[in-house]
Amino acid sequence: MSKIALMFPGQGSQSVGMGKDFYEKYPKAKEIIDLAGDELKKIIFEGPQEDLTLTKYAQPAIFTVSIAAFEVFKELYDFKNAEFVAAGHSLGEYCALYAAGFFDFKDGLSMVKARGEFIQKASEANPGTMAATIGLDAPIVEDICKQASTVGVCEAVNFNSPCQIVIAGVSAAINKAVELASAVGAKTVVLNVSGPFHSSLMSSASDNMAKELEKYTFNAPKFGVFTNCDASLTKDLSTIKEKLVKQIKSAVKWDETIKNIILLGFDKFIEIGSGKVLSGLLRRIDRSKKALNIEDCESLEKTLEELNK
């Protein structure tokens, strides 16, 4: 039996027109995207990109399109043929939880919309930015963050691969950290984001999400999900809400997550949703692994063909 790990991308993977070919070809995808409402559907398919990039739109848009792609895949592939786990990067964790059956689309979309609004408000109240560091080990990045913290919040927040770590905080501190990282030979890229995501500056969003999640009842999952805040396989209903709250203001341990999935013997990876960011990270974490992907009808057909060999 195949052991398949499903991966779902987070904010930053959005692009105008994503999911449109699924919408036009598959009734299930049309049903899902229509449920998201006319306003969001128009932004997904027509943009403009500036609107789609706003956190309050980007997060529900990515969630909707990823779930539409997943539902089409589930219709066309017999899930009894494989053992599954799932993981999602940041926002993508909600897609992974949906795929495992923790909640339905309506509740998932409602949670994600609230999360996007809370994060946008927190970003406006505590402005900041993020930057990727490439070529430095975690202890060096964390030391740089400590030095830069003399001028404001600066934290390592996305451990994406062994040598790609994203930092977040107030702009002055991030600028100082970029200078320090560049001085020791690292490549750095200041990201085009609207806030210091996953840092302690998101505490108000985390607090608001704790109250929001009290409104929902979760279901027993069909398979486990690796959670961002601790890189552990989670099936326990009593802890999942707590982990979703913590996730907003905690680092994404993606590198460790992928390594833990591989340790459990999962040898097939499928990225579901717009883009191939996670496929690229997988190759950096383990050069022997390669991900299939499902972002449009063509990639879906290729993935099904590969799985059915």
Residues 6+ apart with CB under 8 A from 82: 1, 2, 3, 4, 268, 307
What CA–CA distances, in Å, run from 202 to 92, 115, 173, 199, 234? 18, 11, 16, 6, 23
| E strand or H helix that includes residue 115 | helix 105-125
Which tokens belong to 191? 């990201």
Asked if 90 is an active-site residue, the reply is yes
- Asked if 35 and 105 count as a contact pair (C-beta separation under 8 A), the reply is yes
Calpha distance 92→277 (Å, rounded): 12
SS3 123: helix
Asked if 89 is an active-site residue, the reply is no
Measure the CA angle with vertex 158, ends 189 and 139; round to 5°.
Answer: 90
Measure the CA angle with vertex 293, ends 71 and 10; round to 5°.
Answer: 75
Half-sphere exposure of 115 (CA within 13 A, CB side): 30
Calpha distance 247→249 (Å, rounded): 6
- Asked if 174 and 168 count as a contact pair (C-beta separation under 8 A), the reply is yes
Q: Which of 90, 199, 250, 274 is catalytic?
A: 90
Q: Which of 198, 199, 206, 274 is catalytic?
A: 198
- Omega of the bond leading into 48 within 30 degrees of 0 (cis): yes
Catalytic residue list: 90, 198
